[in-house]
Structure 1
Protein backbone atom coordinates (compact mmCIF):
# COMPACT_ATOMS: atom_id res chain seq x y z
CA UNK A 1 0.00 0.00 0.00
CA UNK A 2 1.02 3.60 -0.42
CA UNK A 3 3.08 5.06 2.40
CA UNK A 4 0.94 8.20 2.29
CA UNK A 5 -1.74 8.06 4.98
CA UNK A 6 -2.95 11.66 4.90
CA UNK A 7 -5.10 11.42 1.81
CA UNK A 8 -8.67 10.17 2.17
CA UNK A 9 -8.82 9.33 -1.54
CA UNK A 10 -8.25 5.67 -2.37
CA UNK A 11 -7.10 4.08 -5.61
CA UNK A 12 -6.91 0.46 -6.66
CA UNK A 13 -6.34 -1.50 -9.84
CA UNK A 14 -8.05 -4.65 -11.02
CA UNK A 15 -9.02 -6.82 -13.95
CA UNK A 16 -12.54 -6.33 -12.62
CA UNK A 17 -13.53 -8.61 -9.75
CA UNK A 18 -11.45 -6.92 -7.04
CA UNK A 19 -12.64 -3.62 -8.47
CA UNK A 20 -16.26 -4.67 -8.01
CA UNK A 21 -15.67 -5.60 -4.38
CA UNK A 22 -13.69 -2.45 -3.66
CA UNK A 23 -16.30 -0.26 -5.36
CA UNK A 24 -19.09 -1.89 -3.35
CA UNK A 25 -17.17 -1.32 -0.10
CA UNK A 26 -16.37 2.29 -1.00
CA UNK A 27 -20.01 2.98 -1.79
CA UNK A 28 -21.17 1.39 1.47
CA UNK A 29 -18.61 3.28 3.54
CA UNK A 30 -18.87 6.60 1.72
CA UNK A 31 -15.23 6.54 0.60
CA UNK A 32 -13.72 8.29 -2.41
CA UNK A 33 -12.34 5.54 -4.68
CA UNK A 34 -10.76 5.41 -8.12
CA UNK A 35 -10.46 2.06 -9.91
CA UNK A 36 -7.88 1.61 -12.66
CA UNK A 37 -8.83 -1.10 -15.16
CA UNK A 38 -7.19 -2.43 -18.33
CA UNK A 39 -8.67 -1.18 -21.58
CA UNK A 40 -9.94 -4.69 -22.41
CA UNK A 41 -11.94 -5.05 -19.16
CA UNK A 42 -15.04 -7.23 -19.49
CA UNK A 43 -17.99 -4.85 -20.14
CA UNK A 44 -20.13 -6.46 -17.42
CA UNK A 45 -17.38 -5.85 -14.84
CA UNK A 46 -16.94 -2.25 -15.99
CA UNK A 47 -20.65 -1.50 -15.70
CA UNK A 48 -20.92 -3.05 -12.24
CA UNK A 49 -18.00 -0.99 -10.99
CA UNK A 50 -19.46 2.21 -12.45
CA UNK A 51 -22.84 1.44 -10.86
CA UNK A 52 -21.34 2.12 -7.41
CA UNK A 53 -20.48 5.69 -8.36
CA UNK A 54 -16.68 5.42 -8.19
CA UNK A 55 -14.27 7.02 -10.63
CA UNK A 56 -12.92 4.68 -13.32
CA UNK A 57 -9.71 5.01 -15.33
CA UNK A 58 -8.98 2.72 -18.28
CA UNK A 59 -5.27 2.24 -18.83
CA UNK A 60 -3.09 -0.36 -20.51
CA UNK A 61 -3.64 -3.55 -22.45
CA UNK A 62 -3.48 -5.85 -19.41
CA UNK A 63 -3.97 -5.75 -15.66
CA UNK A 64 -0.29 -5.40 -14.79
CA UNK A 65 -0.10 -2.11 -16.68
CA UNK A 66 -3.26 -0.89 -14.95
CA UNK A 67 -1.68 -1.72 -11.59
CA UNK A 68 1.49 0.19 -12.46
CA UNK A 69 -0.58 3.22 -13.44
CA UNK A 70 -2.52 3.10 -10.18
CA UNK A 71 0.74 2.92 -8.22
CA UNK A 72 2.15 5.86 -10.17
CA UNK A 73 -0.89 7.97 -9.37
CA UNK A 74 -0.63 7.00 -5.70
CA UNK A 75 3.05 8.00 -5.68
CA UNK A 76 1.99 11.64 -6.30
CA UNK A 77 0.58 11.66 -2.77
CA UNK A 78 -2.96 12.26 -3.96
CA UNK A 79 -4.20 8.74 -3.19
CA UNK A 80 -3.68 5.76 -0.91
CA UNK A 81 -3.10 2.65 -3.07
CA UNK A 82 -4.89 -0.62 -2.30
CA UNK A 83 -3.32 -3.60 -4.06
CA UNK A 84 -5.70 -6.28 -5.37
CA UNK A 85 -3.39 -8.97 -3.94
CA UNK A 86 -0.19 -7.56 -2.40
CA UNK A 87 -1.79 -6.51 0.87
CA UNK A 88 -2.12 -8.57 4.08
CA UNK A 89 -5.65 -7.34 4.75
CA UNK A 90 -6.81 -8.24 1.23
CA UNK A 91 -5.26 -11.69 1.64
CA UNK A 92 -6.89 -12.10 5.06
CA UNK A 93 -10.28 -11.25 3.57
CA UNK A 94 -9.84 -13.87 0.86
CA UNK A 95 -8.64 -16.35 3.48
CA UNK A 96 -12.14 -16.45 4.96
CA UNK A 97 -13.10 -18.71 2.03
CA UNK A 98 -10.80 -21.31 3.58
CA UNK A 99 -12.71 -21.04 6.85
CA UNK A 100 -16.00 -21.50 4.98
CA UNK A 101 -14.66 -24.60 3.24
CA UNK A 102 -13.68 -26.16 6.57
CA UNK A 103 -17.04 -25.28 8.11
CA UNK A 104 -18.88 -27.08 5.31
CA UNK A 105 -16.60 -30.09 4.74
CA UNK A 106 -15.46 -32.44 7.49
CA UNK A 107 -12.57 -33.71 5.40
CA UNK A 108 -10.86 -31.99 2.46
CA UNK A 109 -8.17 -33.84 0.54
CA UNK A 110 -7.53 -31.29 -2.19
CA UNK A 111 -8.40 -27.69 -3.02
CA UNK A 112 -8.07 -26.34 -6.56
CA UNK A 113 -7.61 -22.57 -6.85
CA UNK A 114 -6.95 -20.36 -9.87
CA UNK A 115 -3.73 -18.33 -9.56
CA UNK A 116 -3.42 -14.68 -10.53
CA UNK A 117 -1.63 -12.25 -8.26
CA UNK A 118 -1.71 -14.87 -5.53
CA UNK A 119 -3.90 -13.23 -2.91
CA UNK A 120 -6.68 -15.81 -3.14
CA UNK A 121 -4.50 -18.90 -3.10
CA UNK A 122 -2.21 -17.48 -0.40
CA UNK A 123 -5.14 -16.73 1.88
CA UNK A 124 -7.05 -19.96 1.38
CA UNK A 125 -3.85 -22.02 1.41
CA UNK A 126 -2.66 -20.49 4.68
CA UNK A 127 -5.93 -21.34 6.41
CA UNK A 128 -5.98 -24.90 5.08
CA UNK A 129 -2.37 -25.56 6.08
CA UNK A 130 -3.06 -24.22 9.58
CA UNK A 131 -6.24 -26.16 10.29
CA UNK A 132 -6.05 -29.05 7.81
CA UNK A 133 -2.35 -29.61 7.04
CA UNK A 134 -3.03 -32.88 5.20
CA UNK A 135 -5.01 -31.00 2.53
CA UNK A 136 -3.16 -30.56 -0.76
CA UNK A 137 -3.35 -27.15 -2.42
CA UNK A 138 -3.39 -27.14 -6.22
CA UNK A 139 -2.65 -23.83 -7.92
CA UNK A 140 -4.03 -23.61 -11.45
CA UNK A 141 -2.41 -21.20 -13.86
CA UNK A 142 -3.50 -20.06 -17.32
CA UNK A 143 -0.74 -20.83 -19.81
CA UNK A 144 -1.39 -17.48 -21.51
CA UNK A 145 -0.55 -15.46 -18.37
CA UNK A 146 1.40 -17.33 -15.72
CA UNK A 147 3.48 -14.80 -13.80
CA UNK A 148 3.01 -16.40 -10.38
CA UNK A 149 3.66 -19.94 -11.62
CA UNK A 150 6.91 -18.90 -13.32
CA UNK A 151 7.95 -16.80 -10.35
CA UNK A 152 7.44 -19.76 -8.03
CA UNK A 153 9.77 -21.85 -10.19
CA UNK A 154 12.39 -19.08 -10.26
CA UNK A 155 12.04 -18.24 -6.56
CA UNK A 156 11.65 -14.55 -7.36
CA UNK A 157 9.30 -12.36 -9.35
CA UNK A 158 9.85 -12.71 -13.10
CA UNK A 159 8.32 -11.01 -16.11
CA UNK A 160 6.36 -13.19 -18.53
CA UNK A 161 4.45 -12.60 -21.73
CA UNK A 162 0.76 -11.93 -21.17
CA UNK A 163 -1.54 -13.09 -23.94
CA UNK A 164 -5.32 -12.82 -24.09
CA UNK A 165 -7.02 -15.46 -21.98
CA UNK A 166 -10.55 -16.49 -21.08
CA UNK A 167 -9.31 -16.37 -17.49
CA UNK A 168 -8.91 -12.58 -17.63
CA UNK A 169 -9.32 -12.16 -13.86
CA UNK A 170 -6.02 -13.96 -13.23
CA UNK A 171 -4.03 -12.25 -15.99
CA UNK A 172 -1.19 -9.83 -15.30
CA UNK A 173 2.12 -9.65 -13.49
CA UNK A 174 3.28 -9.33 -9.88
CA UNK A 175 4.71 -6.46 -7.87
CA UNK A 176 8.46 -6.92 -7.48
CA UNK A 177 8.00 -7.04 -3.70
CA UNK A 178 4.80 -9.05 -3.64
CA UNK A 179 4.22 -10.84 -0.35
CA UNK A 180 2.10 -13.38 -2.19
CA UNK A 181 5.09 -15.08 -3.80
CA UNK A 182 6.68 -16.44 -0.60
CA UNK A 183 3.22 -17.16 0.81
CA UNK A 184 2.20 -19.13 -2.27
CA UNK A 185 5.50 -21.01 -2.31
CA UNK A 186 4.90 -22.05 1.30
CA UNK A 187 1.33 -23.35 0.86
CA UNK A 188 0.96 -24.58 -2.74
CA UNK A 189 1.72 -28.27 -3.18
CA UNK A 190 1.21 -28.58 -6.94
CA UNK A 191 0.90 -26.18 -9.88
CA UNK A 192 -1.09 -27.08 -12.99
CA UNK A 193 -1.12 -25.11 -16.24
CA UNK A 194 -4.15 -25.05 -18.51
CA UNK A 195 -4.49 -23.73 -22.04
CA UNK A 196 -7.41 -21.89 -23.56
CA UNK A 197 -8.99 -25.02 -25.00
CA UNK A 198 -9.01 -26.67 -21.58
CA UNK A 199 -10.56 -23.57 -19.98
CA UNK A 200 -13.20 -23.48 -22.71
CA UNK A 201 -14.11 -27.13 -22.13
CA UNK A 202 -14.41 -26.50 -18.40
CA UNK A 203 -16.76 -23.57 -19.07
CA UNK A 204 -18.93 -25.82 -21.21
CA UNK A 205 -18.92 -28.60 -18.61
CA UNK A 206 -20.04 -26.23 -15.86
CA UNK A 207 -22.81 -24.85 -18.06
CA UNK A 208 -24.16 -28.09 -19.47
CA UNK A 209 -23.45 -30.53 -16.65
CA UNK A 210 -23.78 -28.33 -13.56
CA UNK A 211 -26.12 -25.59 -14.87
CA UNK A 212 -23.60 -22.94 -13.79
CA UNK A 213 -22.43 -20.00 -15.88
CA UNK A 214 -19.13 -18.70 -14.54
CA UNK A 215 -16.24 -16.66 -15.88
CA UNK A 216 -13.10 -18.14 -17.35
CA UNK A 217 -10.98 -17.66 -14.24
CA UNK A 218 -13.42 -19.82 -12.28
CA UNK A 219 -13.51 -22.50 -14.96
CA UNK A 220 -9.71 -22.51 -14.88
CA UNK A 221 -9.80 -24.19 -11.46
CA UNK A 222 -12.06 -26.94 -12.83
CA UNK A 223 -9.79 -27.33 -15.86
CA UNK A 224 -6.92 -27.99 -13.49
CA UNK A 225 -8.92 -30.58 -11.57
CA UNK A 226 -9.85 -32.33 -14.82
CA UNK A 227 -6.17 -32.78 -15.70
CA UNK A 228 -5.42 -34.74 -12.53
CA UNK A 229 -8.81 -36.32 -11.84
CA UNK A 230 -7.36 -39.81 -12.25
CA UNK A 231 -4.96 -39.11 -9.38
CA UNK A 232 -7.35 -37.37 -6.98
CA UNK A 233 -10.74 -38.70 -8.03
CA UNK A 234 -11.20 -40.92 -4.96
CA UNK A 235 -10.62 -38.10 -2.48
CA UNK A 236 -12.70 -35.09 -1.49
CA UNK A 237 -11.73 -32.20 -3.74
CA UNK A 238 -12.98 -28.62 -3.51
CA UNK A 239 -12.88 -26.47 -6.64
CA UNK A 240 -13.04 -22.75 -5.89
CA UNK A 241 -15.19 -20.97 -8.48
CA UNK A 242 -13.89 -17.46 -8.03
CA UNK A 243 -16.29 -15.37 -10.11
CA UNK A 244 -19.21 -15.20 -12.53
CA UNK A 245 -18.70 -11.78 -14.13
CA UNK A 246 -18.42 -13.05 -17.68
CA UNK A 247 -18.44 -11.35 -21.06
CA UNK A 248 -21.82 -12.20 -22.60
CA UNK A 249 -20.57 -12.22 -26.19
CA UNK A 250 -17.63 -14.44 -25.31
CA UNK A 251 -19.87 -16.82 -23.41
CA UNK A 252 -22.31 -17.03 -26.31
CA UNK A 253 -19.47 -17.97 -28.66
CA UNK A 254 -18.45 -20.78 -26.33
CA UNK A 255 -21.83 -22.19 -25.38
CA UNK A 256 -23.97 -21.72 -28.49
Structure 2
Protein backbone atom coordinates (compact mmCIF):
# COMPACT_ATOMS: atom_id res chain seq x y z
CA UNK A 1 0.00 0.00 0.00
CA UNK A 2 1.12 3.55 -0.62
CA UNK A 3 2.23 5.81 2.21
CA UNK A 4 1.85 9.52 2.95
CA UNK A 5 5.19 10.38 1.24
CA UNK A 6 3.75 8.96 -2.00
CA UNK A 7 0.86 11.42 -1.78
CA UNK A 8 3.24 14.29 -1.09
CA UNK A 9 5.31 13.24 -4.11
CA UNK A 10 2.17 13.06 -6.24
CA UNK A 11 1.26 16.59 -5.21
CA UNK A 12 4.62 17.84 -6.41
CA UNK A 13 4.27 16.02 -9.72
CA UNK A 14 0.76 17.24 -10.57
CA UNK A 15 0.85 20.76 -9.11
CA UNK A 16 1.34 22.45 -12.49
CA UNK A 17 -1.66 20.66 -13.99
CA UNK A 18 -4.46 20.35 -11.46
CA UNK A 19 -6.49 23.04 -9.69
CA UNK A 20 -6.33 23.36 -5.90
CA UNK A 21 -10.12 23.35 -5.69
CA UNK A 22 -11.87 25.58 -3.15
CA UNK A 23 -13.42 24.39 0.09
CA UNK A 24 -16.66 26.33 0.46
CA UNK A 25 -18.97 26.54 3.49
CA UNK A 26 -22.56 25.48 2.80
CA UNK A 27 -24.91 27.76 4.78
CA UNK A 28 -27.94 25.59 4.05
CA UNK A 29 -26.40 22.25 5.03
CA UNK A 30 -24.74 23.83 8.07
CA UNK A 31 -28.06 25.22 9.25
CA UNK A 32 -29.94 22.03 8.50
CA UNK A 33 -27.55 19.72 10.31
CA UNK A 34 -26.47 21.97 13.17
CA UNK A 35 -22.77 21.51 12.37
CA UNK A 36 -20.46 23.35 10.00
CA UNK A 37 -20.50 21.73 6.55
CA UNK A 38 -18.01 22.47 3.78
CA UNK A 39 -17.91 21.36 0.15
CA UNK A 40 -14.63 20.45 -1.58
CA UNK A 41 -15.38 21.52 -5.16
CA UNK A 42 -13.61 18.81 -7.17
CA UNK A 43 -16.20 19.15 -9.92
CA UNK A 44 -14.41 22.39 -10.79
CA UNK A 45 -11.29 20.46 -11.75
CA UNK A 46 -10.15 20.93 -15.37
CA UNK A 47 -11.80 17.75 -16.64
CA UNK A 48 -14.82 18.15 -14.38
CA UNK A 49 -13.82 15.59 -11.75
CA UNK A 50 -11.13 14.56 -9.27
CA UNK A 51 -9.91 11.88 -11.67
CA UNK A 52 -7.40 14.23 -13.31
CA UNK A 53 -5.22 14.04 -10.19
CA UNK A 54 -4.61 10.31 -10.34
CA UNK A 55 -4.40 10.17 -14.13
CA UNK A 56 -1.81 12.94 -14.26
CA UNK A 57 0.27 11.28 -11.56
CA UNK A 58 0.15 7.91 -13.31
CA UNK A 59 1.11 9.35 -16.71
CA UNK A 60 3.95 11.34 -15.13
CA UNK A 61 5.57 8.08 -13.94
CA UNK A 62 5.72 6.45 -17.40
CA UNK A 63 9.15 5.61 -18.69
CA UNK A 64 10.09 6.63 -22.23
CA UNK A 65 9.63 3.02 -23.35
CA UNK A 66 6.14 2.91 -21.79
CA UNK A 67 5.19 6.17 -23.46
CA UNK A 68 6.00 4.64 -26.83
CA UNK A 69 3.82 1.62 -26.06
CA UNK A 70 0.87 3.82 -25.09
CA UNK A 71 -1.71 3.42 -22.32
CA UNK A 72 -5.07 1.72 -22.07
CA UNK A 73 -7.79 1.86 -19.45
CA UNK A 74 -11.44 1.13 -18.76
CA UNK A 75 -13.73 3.83 -17.45
CA UNK A 76 -17.25 4.81 -16.55
CA UNK A 77 -16.39 8.18 -18.13
CA UNK A 78 -14.52 10.52 -15.82
CA UNK A 79 -11.33 8.46 -15.52
CA UNK A 80 -11.24 8.02 -19.29
CA UNK A 81 -11.61 11.74 -19.81
CA UNK A 82 -8.80 12.41 -17.33
CA UNK A 83 -6.46 9.84 -18.90
CA UNK A 84 -7.22 11.30 -22.32
CA UNK A 85 -6.33 14.78 -21.09
CA UNK A 86 -3.13 13.71 -19.33
CA UNK A 87 -1.98 11.41 -22.13
CA UNK A 88 -2.56 14.02 -24.84
CA UNK A 89 -0.61 16.58 -22.82
CA UNK A 90 2.28 14.09 -22.54
CA UNK A 91 2.01 13.10 -26.22
CA UNK A 92 1.14 9.53 -25.28
CA UNK A 93 -1.29 7.37 -27.26
CA UNK A 94 -4.32 6.41 -25.14
CA UNK A 95 -7.09 3.86 -25.68
CA UNK A 96 -10.19 4.13 -23.49
CA UNK A 97 -12.66 1.26 -23.15
CA UNK A 98 -16.17 2.09 -21.95
CA UNK A 99 -19.45 0.22 -21.82
CA UNK A 100 -22.71 1.10 -23.54
CA UNK A 101 -23.98 2.49 -20.21
CA UNK A 102 -21.65 5.51 -20.34
CA UNK A 103 -23.46 8.74 -21.19
CA UNK A 104 -22.83 10.33 -24.58
CA UNK A 105 -21.53 13.59 -23.07
CA UNK A 106 -18.64 11.71 -21.43
CA UNK A 107 -17.96 9.71 -24.59
CA UNK A 108 -17.84 12.91 -26.65
CA UNK A 109 -15.30 14.49 -24.31
CA UNK A 110 -13.02 11.45 -24.40
CA UNK A 111 -13.05 11.57 -28.19
CA UNK A 112 -12.53 15.34 -28.27
CA UNK A 113 -9.41 15.00 -26.13
CA UNK A 114 -7.84 12.69 -28.68
CA UNK A 115 -8.08 9.16 -27.25
CA UNK A 116 -9.01 6.04 -29.19
CA UNK A 117 -12.44 5.14 -27.76
CA UNK A 118 -13.88 1.64 -27.75
CA UNK A 119 -17.42 0.86 -26.59
CA UNK A 120 -17.50 -2.68 -25.24
CA UNK A 121 -20.36 -4.63 -23.68
CA UNK A 122 -22.98 -3.57 -21.17
CA UNK A 123 -20.90 -3.16 -18.00
CA UNK A 124 -17.71 -1.63 -16.71
CA UNK A 125 -16.35 -5.11 -16.00
CA UNK A 126 -16.70 -6.08 -19.67
CA UNK A 127 -14.96 -2.88 -20.73
CA UNK A 128 -12.16 -3.61 -18.28
CA UNK A 129 -11.72 -7.12 -19.65
CA UNK A 130 -11.19 -5.62 -23.11
CA UNK A 131 -8.69 -3.10 -21.72
CA UNK A 132 -6.74 -5.91 -20.06
CA UNK A 133 -6.79 -7.90 -23.32
CA UNK A 134 -5.40 -4.91 -25.20
CA UNK A 135 -2.73 -4.37 -22.57
CA UNK A 136 -1.55 -7.97 -23.00
CA UNK A 137 -1.98 -8.28 -26.76
CA UNK A 138 -0.66 -4.87 -27.78
CA UNK A 139 1.76 -4.44 -24.86
CA UNK A 140 0.07 -1.22 -23.79
CA UNK A 141 0.39 0.07 -20.21
CA UNK A 142 -2.77 -0.62 -18.23
CA UNK A 143 -3.84 2.26 -15.97
CA UNK A 144 -6.54 0.91 -13.71
CA UNK A 145 -9.14 3.48 -12.72
CA UNK A 146 -8.56 2.94 -9.00
CA UNK A 147 -6.51 -0.14 -8.09
CA UNK A 148 -3.22 1.51 -8.99
CA UNK A 149 -0.77 3.08 -6.49
CA UNK A 150 -0.15 6.15 -8.68
CA UNK A 151 -3.88 6.73 -9.07
CA UNK A 152 -4.51 6.38 -5.34
CA UNK A 153 -1.64 8.73 -4.47
CA UNK A 154 -2.95 11.34 -6.91
CA UNK A 155 -6.46 11.21 -5.47
CA UNK A 156 -4.95 11.47 -1.99
CA UNK A 157 -3.77 15.01 -2.74
CA UNK A 158 -7.36 16.09 -2.16
CA UNK A 159 -6.95 15.08 1.47
CA UNK A 160 -3.84 17.24 1.83
CA UNK A 161 -5.64 20.29 0.43
CA UNK A 162 -8.69 19.63 2.59
CA UNK A 163 -6.65 19.50 5.80
CA UNK A 164 -4.79 22.68 4.94
CA UNK A 165 -8.10 24.48 4.48
CA UNK A 166 -9.92 22.80 7.39
CA UNK A 167 -7.38 21.40 9.90
CA UNK A 168 -10.01 20.50 12.50
CA UNK A 169 -12.28 18.50 10.17
CA UNK A 170 -14.18 15.83 12.09
CA UNK A 171 -16.12 14.01 9.36
CA UNK A 172 -15.26 13.47 5.69
CA UNK A 173 -17.83 12.14 3.20
CA UNK A 174 -16.26 10.51 0.15
CA UNK A 175 -18.03 9.13 -2.92
CA UNK A 176 -17.26 5.40 -3.04
CA UNK A 177 -17.04 3.45 -6.29
CA UNK A 178 -14.10 1.11 -6.76
CA UNK A 179 -12.26 2.85 -3.96
CA UNK A 180 -9.43 4.92 -5.43
CA UNK A 181 -10.73 8.20 -4.03
CA UNK A 182 -11.57 6.73 -0.63
CA UNK A 183 -8.20 4.98 -0.40
CA UNK A 184 -6.19 8.09 -1.24
CA UNK A 185 -8.18 10.59 0.77
CA UNK A 186 -8.56 8.12 3.61
CA UNK A 187 -4.82 7.60 3.84
CA UNK A 188 -4.06 11.33 3.81
CA UNK A 189 -6.72 12.19 6.39
CA UNK A 190 -6.02 9.27 8.73
CA UNK A 191 -2.27 9.95 8.63
CA UNK A 192 -2.58 13.62 9.54
CA UNK A 193 -5.94 13.80 11.36
CA UNK A 194 -6.56 10.32 12.84
CA UNK A 195 -9.54 11.48 14.91
CA UNK A 196 -11.57 12.31 11.79
CA UNK A 197 -14.27 9.86 10.65
CA UNK A 198 -14.07 8.87 6.98
CA UNK A 199 -17.37 7.74 5.49
CA UNK A 200 -17.80 6.25 2.03
CA UNK A 201 -21.09 6.98 0.25
CA UNK A 202 -22.45 4.95 -2.64
CA UNK A 203 -25.70 4.18 -4.43
CA UNK A 204 -27.84 1.33 -3.12
CA UNK A 205 -27.93 -0.35 -6.56
CA UNK A 206 -24.87 -2.50 -7.23
CA UNK A 207 -22.43 -0.94 -4.75
CA UNK A 208 -19.51 -3.29 -5.38
CA UNK A 209 -17.19 -2.07 -2.63
CA UNK A 210 -19.93 -2.20 -0.01
CA UNK A 211 -20.81 -5.78 -1.01
CA UNK A 212 -17.14 -6.75 -0.99
CA UNK A 213 -16.53 -5.26 2.45
CA UNK A 214 -19.53 -7.14 3.82
CA UNK A 215 -18.28 -10.39 2.26
CA UNK A 216 -14.75 -9.85 3.53
CA UNK A 217 -13.26 -10.21 0.03
CA UNK A 218 -13.81 -8.74 -3.46
CA UNK A 219 -17.04 -9.94 -5.05
CA UNK A 220 -18.86 -9.36 -8.32
CA UNK A 221 -22.17 -7.51 -8.37
CA UNK A 222 -24.65 -6.85 -11.12
CA UNK A 223 -24.06 -3.42 -12.64
CA UNK A 224 -27.32 -1.51 -12.87
CA UNK A 225 -28.07 1.92 -14.34
CA UNK A 226 -27.84 4.68 -11.72
CA UNK A 227 -27.86 8.45 -11.48
CA UNK A 228 -24.49 7.92 -9.77
CA UNK A 229 -23.13 6.20 -12.89
CA UNK A 230 -19.52 7.17 -12.07
CA UNK A 231 -19.67 4.84 -9.04
CA UNK A 232 -20.85 1.80 -11.00
CA UNK A 233 -18.79 -1.25 -11.88
CA UNK A 234 -16.84 -3.82 -9.94
CA UNK A 235 -13.66 -3.48 -7.91
CA UNK A 236 -12.00 -6.49 -9.58
CA UNK A 237 -11.79 -9.96 -8.07
CA UNK A 238 -8.00 -9.65 -8.11
CA UNK A 239 -8.10 -6.26 -6.37
CA UNK A 240 -4.72 -5.60 -4.80
CA UNK A 241 -5.02 -2.21 -3.10
CA UNK A 242 -8.33 -0.42 -2.75
CA UNK A 243 -10.29 -3.20 -1.04
CA UNK A 244 -7.80 -3.50 1.83
CA UNK A 245 -7.46 0.28 2.02
CA UNK A 246 -11.21 0.79 2.31
CA UNK A 247 -11.42 -2.07 4.78
CA UNK A 248 -8.92 -0.39 7.08
CA UNK A 249 -9.59 3.32 6.47
CA UNK A 250 -13.36 3.71 6.15
CA UNK A 251 -15.34 4.03 9.36
CA UNK A 252 -18.60 3.22 7.60
CA UNK A 253 -20.25 2.98 4.19
CA UNK A 254 -23.58 4.72 3.59
CA UNK A 255 -25.93 3.81 0.74
CA UNK A 256 -28.35 6.28 -0.83
CA UNK A 257 -31.33 5.62 -3.09
CA UNK A 258 -31.86 7.00 -6.57
CA UNK A 259 -34.49 9.41 -5.23
CA UNK A 260 -32.02 10.60 -2.59
CA UNK A 261 -29.31 11.08 -5.23
CA UNK A 262 -31.74 13.15 -7.31
CA UNK A 263 -32.51 15.24 -4.23
CA UNK A 264 -28.79 15.84 -3.75
CA UNK A 265 -28.39 17.00 -7.36
CA UNK A 266 -31.34 19.37 -6.97
CA UNK A 267 -30.04 20.72 -3.66
CA UNK A 268 -26.62 21.42 -5.14
CA UNK A 269 -28.22 23.44 -7.93
CA UNK A 270 -30.96 25.20 -5.98
CA UNK A 271 -28.97 26.06 -2.84
CA UNK A 272 -25.29 25.97 -3.86
CA UNK A 273 -25.76 27.08 -7.50
CA UNK A 274 -23.58 24.16 -8.62
CA UNK A 275 -24.18 21.63 -11.40
CA UNK A 276 -23.02 18.23 -10.12
CA UNK A 277 -23.42 14.69 -11.34
CA UNK A 278 -25.02 11.93 -9.28
CA UNK A 279 -21.72 10.60 -7.92
CA UNK A 280 -20.74 14.13 -6.93
CA UNK A 281 -23.99 14.61 -5.04
CA UNK A 282 -24.04 11.46 -2.88
CA UNK A 283 -22.43 13.10 0.15
CA UNK A 284 -25.06 15.84 0.10
CA UNK A 285 -27.70 13.14 -0.39
CA UNK A 286 -26.55 11.26 2.70
CA UNK A 287 -26.78 14.40 4.86
CA UNK A 288 -30.17 15.43 3.49
CA UNK A 289 -31.54 11.93 4.11
CA UNK A 290 -30.26 11.93 7.70
CA UNK A 291 -28.18 8.84 7.09
CA UNK A 292 -24.99 10.05 8.78
CA UNK A 293 -25.26 8.85 12.37
CA UNK A 294 -23.49 10.52 15.30
CA UNK A 295 -22.70 13.47 13.07
CA UNK A 296 -19.80 15.62 14.27
CA UNK A 297 -18.52 18.79 12.65
CA UNK A 298 -16.86 20.32 10.90
CA UNK A 299 -17.93 18.11 7.99
CA UNK A 300 -16.27 18.08 4.58
CA UNK A 301 -18.04 16.63 1.54
CA UNK A 302 -15.97 15.91 -1.54
CA UNK A 303 -18.04 16.92 -4.57
CA UNK A 304 -16.29 14.47 -6.84
CA UNK A 305 -17.61 15.42 -10.29
CA UNK A 306 -19.88 17.62 -12.35
CA UNK A 307 -19.96 15.84 -15.71
CA UNK A 308 -23.68 15.18 -15.77
CA UNK A 309 -25.55 14.92 -19.05
CA UNK A 310 -27.34 18.28 -19.16
CA UNK A 311 -30.65 16.96 -20.58
CA UNK A 312 -30.62 14.48 -17.68
CA UNK A 313 -29.86 17.32 -15.24
CA UNK A 314 -32.87 19.25 -16.53
CA UNK A 315 -35.08 16.19 -16.04
CA UNK A 316 -33.80 15.73 -12.48
CA UNK A 317 -34.46 19.37 -11.72
CA UNK A 318 -37.97 19.09 -13.14
CA UNK A 319 -38.69 16.03 -10.99
CA UNK A 320 -39.28 13.80 -14.01
CA UNK A 321 -40.54 10.47 -12.55
CA UNK A 322 -39.54 8.50 -15.68
CA UNK A 323 -35.88 8.83 -14.60
CA UNK A 324 -36.50 6.22 -11.90
CA UNK A 325 -38.22 3.90 -14.37
CA UNK A 326 -35.02 3.90 -16.43
CA UNK A 327 -32.72 3.25 -13.48
CA UNK A 328 -35.16 1.15 -11.49
Normalising by the smaller structure, the TM-score range is: over 0.9
Q: Which of 285, 294, 301 is matched with 1:231 structurally? A: 294
How far apart are the structure 1 equivalents of 2:222 and 2:150? 29
How big is each residue's C-alpha offset from its partner over 1:79-138, in whole Å with a ceiling of 9 and x where there is no partner?
A: 121100010000000000000100110210000011111000000001110000000001
Query: What residue is the counterpart of 1:173 in the other structure?
Result: 234
Q: CA deviation at 1:65?
A: 1.6
1:35-94 Cα offsets, whole Å, 9 max, x none, are 011112122211111111110001121222211211122121431211000100000000
Match 2:175 to one of 114, 117, 126: 114
How far off is 1:229 after superposition?
A: 5.1
In structure 2, how many angstroms separate the alpha carbons of the residues matched to 1:239 and 1:64?
28
- State the alpha-carbon separation in 2 of the partners of residues 194 and 64 from structure 1: 22
Secondary structure (helix, strand or coil) at the match of 1:240 reads: strand
Aligned counterpart, 2:188: 127
Aligned runs of 1:1-256 on 2, under 5 Å? 8-178=69-239, 179-226=241-288, 227-228=290-291, 231-232=294-295, 235-256=297-318
Contiguous gaps of at least 5 residues in structure 1: none
* Distance in structure 2 (CA, Å) of the matches to 1:85 and 1:165: 20
- Distance in 2 of aligned mates of 1:225 and 1:181: 25
Deviations 1:179-209 (A, max 9, x none): 1000111100011111101101111111111
Q: What 5-or-longer segments of structure 2 have no aligned partner?
A: 1-57, 59-64, 319-328
Equivalent pair of 1:147/1:173 in contact (CA under 8 Å): yes
3-state SS in 2 of match to 1:139: strand
Aligned CA RMSD, in angstroms, stands at 1.5
Q: Give the whole-Å Cα distance in 2 for the aligned partners of 1:162 and 1:150.
A: 12
The answer (yes or no) to whether the contact 1:112–1:225 under 8 Å persists in 2 is: no
Tell me the distance in 1 between the aligned counterparts of 2:171 and 2:216.
24
Query: How far apart are residue 225 of structure 1 and its match?
Result: 2.7
> Which stretch of the first structure deviates more once superposed, 40-49 or 222-231?
222-231
Provide the C-alpha distance between the structure 2 equivalents of 1:57 and 1:229, rounded to a whole number of angstroms.
39
For the 8 Å contact 1:36–1:70, the answer to whether it is kept is yes
| CA drift at 1:230 | 6.5
Q: Distance in 2 between matches of 1:205 and 1:105?
A: 23
CA distance in 1, matches of 2:284, 2:130: 32
Q: Name the SS for the 1:66 alignment partner.
A: helix
Corresponding residue SS for 1:30 = coil
Check conservation: 2:275, 2:306, Cα contact below 8 A: yes
Contact 1:225/1:239 (8 A) holds in 2: no
